[in-house]
Structure 1
């Protein structure tokens, strides 16, 4: 079965990198807008009977990129694609995996249902905010992790005085995985969220005095969690030379200003999302194109053998 890789407009550079690894030419797709703001999507590539992979990371503007992906899926289905896999390195609404007050929607489940109804057969995502999000999908989910790639990169500079820090309780398991690979101790910051972008750190579990902190998380949105964690670490006597690691660098709202104010040695991230601008601090980017290309290749082989 012929494989077709088509990129949406959210991250064409990553699509090109994946295509290069797979030695494929990207499928042709026209994406623009009608005068009233509606999306116009036209899949020019011949996809009848093909195994189609649609790359669309769901960074800002989230709703626009999501709608574009849904239209791309529908277009491929109506052109006779045999199978459609959505490759979504960053899955938006993944933080909406539970209802805190009983008055909110379950956004992760809604997005999952929309993708399934549009015609997606399988989802490839990376470092979901919570493993529980997989349970929102009634289609197979390939949940990849960039953690081994990022940890390999960290091994070049980590020292025995380094400590891996979870900025909140939700990231403890992730921090433990980094620490195990790096053979370093773990510390945990206990936080209290006061609003969508404001966070207070209450206490730290673990010995951090004199240590060089490596703060790890799945994503950085407004950087409120990172800012609170780093300030708490500095008050506890950490060395003012901080490494922040996150798979997904959204860097929205006050994120750049917050990170700029910190004694940030570097931000280590991936190209799951395009950087919104050139930040005024050191950023090291590890490409996930080989990881995503490998997943596509394995899924292609699986389809050939009836998987």
Structure 2
């Protein structure tokens, strides 16, 4: 097995390598003065089972599209140089939010990304908590594996809530499946009960609307569950609604902490007690000490490492995500 990671994902890649007791294999990445780039493995990949770990968030002067192209080129050169199998391990897989046409002549970005990855010879794509798992699975013709963060978050919920009532809230109807799975996992692992709640949300041309709030949050610790935090507007809207309805504590749980422009409002809001995300993406340090103190990071390296080991040895991903008692 060979494990590579590209620039911008090295910290997570090293943690994954450490979790499974292997060395990260060396690569060369070179920047040209006109902005072009090349990368290559510095060891032979012929007849090897190759895993390329790279997240596609925009940062460090690179857009998600830049990072996608770098991943494509590196996978392509591994296939050109005789790799037996190449698996793209993409903790944050960008462009998955646009998985269907909602307006005339809309693009279907998830399918285009799938076609690009398949075109360079990717045998399998592993992603962590994509926006819509069904759309992700249907976009690819090559093998694909979807991982989720519910077991990473379940223990943290039990720690924060202690003996208080717990409600898991989806900030929109599309996230109910994700929220329900986390609730099931928490109940099974903690031996405690928890309730579900949901908000209505519609977005059109950047305008968010919807007033329906279903569920009782009065006196409870509410955990708002989503796949990502970008500007944080969705989380903040849900947190304020929970406070208005008597929630005792409000926490934001999201797998991918992108924290794009505008997220300071969420990070500094008194309506949120704590924000918990994984380290699936590298991010710039937060500017506010109050914001930094409110943010807690849960590591995902062990989950990714276990998945890589199981894929390499023919183990069960289902058992990884659904451990038997």
Q: TM-score, normalised by structure 1?
A: 0.92
- Aligned equivalents of 1:275 and 1:282: distance in 2? 15
- Checking the alignment, whether the CA contact within 8 Å between 1:212 and 1:242 is kept in structure 2 is yes
CA contact (8 A) 1:200 1:228 kept: no
Conserved 8 A contact 2:125-2:143: yes
Distance 2:266 2:159 in 1: 27
- Bigger mean CA offset, 30-39 vs 174-183: 174-183
Q: Tell me if 1:188 matches 2:198.
A: yes
Q: Where do 4+ consecutive residues of structure 1 move more than 4 Å?
A: none
Deviations 1:185-241 (Å, cap 9, x if unpaired)? 111111232444x534512101122322211111111111111111222222223x3
Contact between 1:193 and 1:200, CA under 8 Å: does it hold in 2? yes
Aligned residues: 299
SS of the aligned residue for 1:187 comes to strand
Aligned match of 1:43: 41
1:142 aligns with one of 141, 145, 157: 145
- Which is worse superposed, 117-126 or 168-177? 168-177
Which blocks of at least 5 consecutive residues in structure 2 are unaligned? 187-192, 316-325
Q: Which residue of 2 aligns with 1:66?
A: 68
Deviations 1:38-65 (A, max 9, x none): 1221221211111110000111120111
CA contact (8 A) 2:242 2:250 kept: no
1:262 and 1:139 map into 2 onto residues whose CA distance is 45
1:302 corresponds to:
314
Equivalent in the alignment of 1:224: 233
The equivalent residue for 2:103 is: 101
What is the SS of the residue equivalent to 1:280?
Answer: helix
Residues of 2 paired with 1:292 and 1:280: CA distance? Answer: 25
Aligned partners of 2:236 and 2:271 also within 8 Å: no
How big is the alpha-carbon RMSD for the aligned residues of Structure 1 and Structure 2? Answer: 1.6
Cα deviation, residue 166, structure 1: 0.9
Distance in 2 separating the partners of 1:77 and 1:221:
34
The equivalent of 1:172 in structure 2 is 176
Number of the residue aligned with 2:274: 266
Partner SS, residue 239 of structure 2: helix
Task: Decide whether the 8 Å contact of 1:164 with 1:213 is kept in 2.
Answer: yes
Contact between 1:164 and 1:175, CA under 8 Å: does it hold in 2?
yes
Alignment of 1:182-261 (within 5 A): 182=186, 183-196=193-206, 198-239=207-248, 241-261=249-269
Q: Residues 62-141 of structure 1: matches in 2 within 5 Å?
A: 62-131=64-133, 132-141=135-144
Equivalent-residue separation in structure 1 for 2:20 and 2:44 (angstroms): 19
Unaligned runs of 5+ in 1: none
Counterpart for residue 34 of structure 1: 32
* More displaced stretch, 135-144 vs 276-285: 276-285
CA contact (8 A) 1:227 1:262 kept: no
8 A contact 2:55–2:93 mirrored in 1: yes
